[in-house]
């Protein structure tokens, strides 16, 4: 049977879209692709105007933007060091950025809510590449667990609100992203930009070795950020079920091999 997908321009016609985190790494590419699809009313909330941790600010955001669709990408993110130093902040802030926003969106009748999770929600020993059916088969890797579990609660909220209220929401799990405009701060960056930064700094200083986390044997799945943005919009247009969906490349690379490529 041939599936017929909605025409993107028709799907987005006359839609008001709110993209939290729309000025961030993934969000900026999502906004760019929305513009390419002809979306004219895109609302990008800034933290100084709408602190999503504050429920009153969430209500003000929805009053001001009056969205048909919300793409929730806002998050407090960081590398291994930041996650180890501030686990409570990563848990609380990421939980509170999402749960009240989701609830208020349902209350005002938003037509669709897209929540972006994280592969940090997967169990520590889940096989890579990740499969959605393994998501609840264990506890996440301890360093990333506060962040991963906070984001995972949005999946629970998405599924329960669909079951009880019929609220159309979906939950996406992007793998490790890379690409232009990434964060190269060694304290808060993820593995690819951190390794690139270390290599550049080592070359500049004439150092022949760099220090990386672990022994290089762990593997990770990576996805180019622009491909991830396209995946977010395709899921928005085409997917309307409660089961989570990975956004990935379906193959993994060891940290050692990645470092040698860089």
* pLDDT mean over 101-116: 99
Does residue 196 lie in a domain region? no
pTM of the model: 0.88
Q: Could you give the number of structural domains in the chain?
A: 1
Q: Which residues are catalytic?
A: 147
Does residue 198 lie in a domain region? no
Does residue 214 lie in a domain region? no
Q: Which H or E run includes 27?
A: helix 25-36
Can you point out the beta strands (E) in 163-244? 169-174, 176-178, 219-224
Confidence of residue 72 (pLDDT cuts 50, 70, 90): very high
Confidence of residue 147 (pLDDT cuts 50, 70, 90): very high
Of the candidates 27, 36, 244, which has an alpha carbon nearest to the alpha carbon of residue 148? 244
Pairing between β-strand 252-254 and β-strand 219-224 as defined by DSSP bridges: antiparallel
Does residue 74 lie in a domain region? yes
Q: What is the mean pLDDT of the chain?
A: 89
Does residue 8 lie in a domain region? no
Is the pLDDT at 113 greater than 60? The verdict is yes
The CATH number given to whatever domain includes residue 238 is 3.40.50.720
d(CA 124, CA 144) in angstroms, rounded, equals 10
Model pLDDT for residues 214-235, shown as the tens digit of each residue: 665 566 778 899 999 999 999 9
Question: Tokens 């933290």 sit at which residue?
Answer: 47
Q: What residues make up the domain containing 44?
A: 14-182+221-249
d(CA 94, CA 148) in angstroms, rounded, equals 9
Confidence of residue 55 (pLDDT cuts 50, 70, 90): very high
Does residue 36 lie in a domain region? yes
For residues 154 and 96, the answer to whether their CB atoms sit within 8 Å is: no
Model pLDDT for residues 150-163, shown as the tens digit of each residue: 999 999 999 999 99
d(CA 28, CA 34) in angstroms, rounded, equals 10
Does residue 164 lie in a domain region? yes
Does residue 93 lie in a domain region? yes
């Amino acid at each position: 049977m041939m599936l017929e997908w909605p025409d993107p321009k028709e799907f987005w016609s006359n839609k008001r879209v709110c993209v939290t985190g729309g000025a961030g790494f993934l969000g900026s590419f999502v906004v760019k692709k929305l513009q390419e699809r002809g979306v004219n009313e895109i609302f990008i909330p800034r933290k100084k105007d709408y602190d999503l941790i504050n429920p009153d600010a969430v209500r003000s955001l929805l009053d001001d933007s009056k969205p048909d669709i919300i793409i929730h990408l806002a998050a407090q993110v960081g590398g291994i060091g930041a996650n180890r130093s501030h686990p409570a902040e990563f848990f609380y802030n990421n939980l509170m950025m999402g749960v009240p926003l989701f609830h208020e969106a349902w209350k005002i009748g938003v037509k669709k809510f897209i929540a972006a999770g994280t592969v940090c929600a997967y169990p520590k020993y889940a096989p890579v590449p990740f499969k959605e059916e393994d998501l609840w088969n264990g506890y996440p890797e301890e360093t990333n667990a506060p962040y991963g579990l906070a984001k995972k609660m949005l999946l629970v909220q998405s599924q329960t609100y669909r079951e009880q209220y019929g609220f159309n929401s979906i939950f996406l799990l992007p793998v490790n992203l890379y690409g232009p405009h990434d964060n190269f701060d060694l304290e808060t960056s993820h593995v690819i930009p951190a390794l690139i930064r270390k290599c550049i700094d080592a070359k500049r200083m004439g150092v022949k070795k760099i220090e990386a986390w672990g022994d290089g044997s762990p593997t990770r799945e990576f996805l180019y950020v622009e491909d991830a943005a396209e995946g977010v919009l395709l899921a928005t247009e085409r997917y309307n079920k409660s089961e989570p969906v990975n956004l990935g490349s379906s193959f993994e690379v060891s940290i050692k091999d990645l470092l040698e490529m860089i």
